[in-house]
Structure 1
Amino acid sequence: MEKTLISTILFSALTFPLLTQAQQNSWNGTVLGFEALGEGLLGEMLGIRPILTENGFNYNLAYLNQLAHNLDGGYNTDGHVAYIDQTALTFTQDLERWTGIPDAKIEGNIVNRNHNDLLTTERLQDTRVNFNDLSQESWGGQSSTRLGWLTFARSFDDRRLSWRIGMMNKVQTFDGILPCDFQLLTHCGGKSAFSLTWNNWNVHTWGTSFEYKLTPELTLKTGVLEQNPRASSRSQAWSWSTKGSKGVLVPLELESRTFVNDLPGIYNFGVLYTNAKQKDLYKGKSGGPGATDPEGYKEYDNTWFFYGGFNQQITQHSDDPNRGMSAAFSASVSDQRSNYMHIIAAAQLRYRGLFDARPNDWIGLGVSYIDTSNHYARNQDYKNQIQGIIDYNNPDYSPVPGDSVNAEIHYRFRPVSWLELQPGLQYWHRPGGLKETQDAWVTVMKTVITF
């Protein structure tokens, strides 16, 4: 399985130039999930928004909530409706008009999250093992308001080179081939967040990144970012400090926005390196199992993480280029010595405008595969051996996870431009990777209001 995934990712990277075709058509990612925002609930805000736009200030203010209810199965079968929500402000201030610097801008993101209620840990998974997926991807582990990013960016070399610096987040530059439309975390965006060394969306660390267009379709991305395990803590929500930093992250990614059969697609392959010390999940510093090693677990000064995938439109409605189907695949492979999620792979189908009467609605279907690190599983098993526990129902037993499969189907209904209602159904096979946990069915509902 691992060799197949690596081969697939490498094949996608190596065939980027072959996929690229000379085209006069502009690349349109609407059917891939990257559609332009419609008019918000507040409209032009009595003329305030056009004035802001005229002066280079553009923003998106949106409210989101996600509900999940366990219909059947899971670790705890008692019924529960889990609820989380967030309000997010993302903005850009154009500086080029005032300074003459090409593409100069200030970018920012502020997110307020509430209701720390996650069905994954409340009902679906055995809490004696680390969770490997989320029923509500926007769950952040705490209720807080925090700075997602605040950066300065500009371009060079006739806009071929883009540079960004400041308190940044990886989603600004890296692994942007997939939207975050599903409610399962394994289907939200690309797979680079599963490296567990940087964060998605609303957590900032210091860094700088570069994007260089090798061709109009092919972009090389790299940078240097702070690796700080404390970045997601409440104390760091607005901090400018690097307190807690353990080292640096160096990503290298190749991204192609191209056409296949005259339809747009986006492909990427990335490598993430860190020199921050990572602990082995099984081996001790003296050579034996770390659970009984007086010197603790072995540490590594260098670890690697690979990710990649594609998102390709495969059909187009006869009279509307913004309607059609896209197919996507994304995967990651980690160093399983120190990362308890070894392989993550996900495949999705999306269709925008399936029904003539509802051209702006979406339907999505996705299936993900999650493989647990054998170092993590061996450590769990060894802890049972030294305690002499073989009964899974014993509270002190350490369950031994393997692989799991999760799936989701949803329909996104857009009655007006500023409102999205997205009911869905999730299926969890071996939640948490445990064969002892019943397969689970979960109903979900996501609501988005754009202001």
Structure 2
Amino acid sequence: MKNINIHYKLYVLALLTFSPLSVAQDWNGTVLGFEAPPKPVLGDMLGIRHILNDNGFTYNLAYLNEIGWNGGGGYNHDRHVAYIDQFSLTFNQDLERWTGIPDARIEGNIVNRNHNDNLTTKRLQDPRVNFNDLSQESWGGQSITRLGWLTFARSFDDRRLTWRVGMMNKVQTFDQIIPCDFQLLSQCGGKSANALTWNNWNVHTWGTTLEYKVTPTVSLKGGVMEQNPNAASRSHAWSWSTKGSKGILLPVEIEARPLINGLPGAYNLGVVFTNASQTDLFRGKSGQAGATDPDGYKKHNHTWFMYAGMNQQLTQHQDDPNRGLSTSFSMSLANQSTNYIHQVYAASLRYRGLFDARPEDWIGFGLTWTEMSNQYARNQRYLNRINGVSDYSNPAYHPVPGHSVSGEFYYRLRPVSWLELQPGIQYWHHPGGVSRTQDAWVTELKTIVTF
């Protein structure tokens, strides 16, 4: 499930979200989770940062680590502290001042990821089924340095139309309305990555996208992107090649960022279509079950995926627009003949600045319901039947997944401007969708340092 890596952080979303092409001038997304980048630990770097900014080069360099400890339950009860971390560099070079091309820029992202330690697959979940959530959302399956994106962008029609082209990532254009503040994968950002046909954050493919602002608050987005199952492989980390491509992705999204009762909100609805070949999760080419069909599993020459979400500020704390309560909801619906994650629904509440003494602290609570594909479950049952296995404890048994529920509560504080500490707790009901797996508790700690 390497294609469901949702690793974009709050500070990068802030850079994307607060561009002049993204929002109306009186729209303030701070309480929605889109904070402006904090003052970095290195400051002005003896004037170097100021010189770079004067020449149109802006960047964000940050360090992130995520720790998870299985406090109880799960598939494997042995205690384990899982640790992952990464360095990320996101940069933007303004070209307008040098070329005169309106809003022209080069955009880039490089991520160095280390300590490939995944608590979900090591302790929480039965390893005989595909995972559908992660206790450490930034786990990407590898310790590696790779290019997330390198693109050229410019605007037309008085900055209402934005065009982007190059080695890109979907988070540059699509599904930007919910931040990635929770440590649970299912609560991190929107649900577009559940399509399992494209990647998030630190994996690039070729493509081009257009975003048009129909009104100051409503945007239409579309694109043509490479569908390459090999994109997340080590050999593709810095590759310009399209080797391994299976087809194209055609994403379309409508996004709205209105003010409701004077409070900002963000809403979206997207559809992704691909003509890349997909393998059926149960049916064979000759009409019988795929596991016994001499011609193998049926192939589909296309598939679809839908996602939607909302993120709305509910209250404002006294007269401070940067403090208050917000709520978010996101969902995805997939073709369950080709995608083992059929439906996902996630809801959350966030409060920024609950305490007067800590106006920049956050409290967050989220719940996620995940429904696995009945075709995937059907295939698992069929494999057990033809293998004559019915004992769950038998290593040859194929667990039959249904639904799972995961939840998280966190508190994030900023003791100094450049440091964020976020302890929290997670609860896992039916990890991986397997009812035979004991419910689990996880203690977490996320740390972010901005340089």
Do they superpose with TM above 0.5?
Answer: yes
Gaps of at least 5 residues in structure 2 are 1-22
Matched, 1:233 2:250: no
SS at match of 2:316: coil
Counterpart mapping for 1:208-223 below 5 A: 208-223=208-223
Partners of 2:384 and 2:301 in 1: CA distance: 29
Counterpart mapping for 1:310-325 below 5 A: 310-325=310-325
2:240 counterpart letter in structure 1: W
Q: Which residue of 2 aligns with 1:384?
A: 384
Counterpart mapping for 1:35-50 below 5 A: 35-50=35-50
Partners of 1:146 and 1:417 in 2: CA distance: 28
SS at match of 2:223: strand
Q: Which residue of 1 aligns with 2:88?
A: 88
RMSD of aligned C-alpha atoms?
0.9
Q: Which residue of 2 aligns with 1:18?
A: none
SS at match of 1:378: helix
Q: Which residue of 2 aligns with 1:442?
A: 442
Q: Which residue of 1 aligns with 2:270?
A: 270
Q: Deviations over 1:286-322 (max 9, x none)?
A: 0111011110111111211000010000000112110
Counterpart mapping for 1:7-26 below 5 A: 26=26
Partners of 2:235 and 2:345 in 1: CA distance: 33
Asked whether the 8 Å contact 2:350–2:365 carries over to 1, the reply is: yes
Q: Which aligned runs of 4 or more in structure 1 are off by greater than 6 angstroms?
A: none
Distance change >3 Å, CA 140–CA 298, structure 1 → 2: same
SS at match of 1:292: coil
Identity of aligned residues (%): 71
2:90 counterpart letter in structure 1: T
Asked whether the 8 Å contact 2:24–2:216 carries over to 1, the reply is: no
Partners of 2:402 and 2:24 in 1: CA distance: 49
Partners of 1:333 and 1:416 in 2: CA distance: 41
CA positional deviation for 1:24: 8.8
Partners of 1:420 and 1:159 in 2: CA distance: 35
Matched, 1:326 2:326: yes
Q: Which residue of 2 aligns with 1:417?
A: 417
SS at match of 1:123: helix
SS at match of 1:117: coil
Partners of 2:24 and 2:233 in 1: CA distance: 47
Partners of 1:274 and 1:319 in 2: CA distance: 47
Partners of 2:118 and 2:93 in 1: CA distance: 35
Partners of 2:332 and 2:267 in 1: CA distance: 14
SS at match of 2:47: helix
Partners of 1:248 and 1:93 in 2: CA distance: 29
1:114 counterpart letter in structure 2: N
1:380 counterpart letter in structure 2: Q
2:424 counterpart letter in structure 1: G
Partners of 2:310 and 2:381 in 1: CA distance: 37
Number of aligned positions between the proteins? 429
Partners of 1:136 and 1:250 in 2: CA distance: 30
Q: Deviations over 1:364-421 (max 9, x none)?
A: 0000000000010000000000011100000000000000000000000101110000
Q: Which residue of 1 aligns with 2:17?
A: none
Q: Which residue of 1 aligns with 2:133?
A: 133
SS at match of 2:383: helix
2:32 counterpart letter in structure 1: L
Partners of 1:102 and 1:361 in 2: CA distance: 38
Gaps of at least 5 residues in structure 1 are 1-22
SS at match of 1:322: coil
CA positional deviation for 1:158: 1.1
Q: Which residue of 2 aligns with 1:396?
A: 396
1:56 counterpart letter in structure 2: G
Partners of 2:300 and 2:159 in 1: CA distance: 39
2:291 counterpart letter in structure 1: A
Q: Deviations over 1:405-439 (max 9, x none)?
A: 00000000101110000000000000000110000
Q: Deviations over 1:110-144 (max 9, x none)?
A: 00000110000010000000000000000000100
CA positional deviation for 1:25: 6.5
Q: Deviations over 1:28-68 (max 9, x none)?
A: 00000001011100000000001000100000000000000
Partners of 2:24 and 2:255 in 1: CA distance: 20
SS at match of 2:232: coil
